[in-house]
Amino acid sequence: MGAFLDEFDFSMRYAITPNFEVYFDASNLLDNPGRRFSEPGNLLTAQGSASPFQDNLTIEWERFGRRYTGGVRLTF
């Protein structure tokens, strides 16, 4: 399973005027953990998606949870 199946983010921006914008971002909506894999005996090849011969060689597993941010932007 590639990283593209594990991640889902959402971002929305709306310019109310040319100088005033509101935004909302949501990250990791699927609430999946972050995983990195490596080839046997070679940590320098660590990557976020597993190749067929290393899918059971997890070297890092982290839980981040969902994250939400929002705000306004002003341009002067």
Q: Is this structure's pTM higher than 0.85?
A: no
Q: What is the mean pLDDT of the chain?
A: 79
Contact between 28 and 67 under an 8 Å Cβ cutoff? The reply is yes
Q: What is the pLDDT of residue 56?
A: 64
Give the whole-number percent of the chain exceeding pLDDT 70.
Answer: 68
Residue 1 pLDDT exceeds 70: no
Domain count of the fold of the chain:
1
Residue 38 has pLDDT above 50, yes or no: yes
Q: Which domain holds residue 14?
A: 3-74
**In the prediction, which pLDDT does 49 show?**
56
Distance CA 49, CA 62 (A): 14
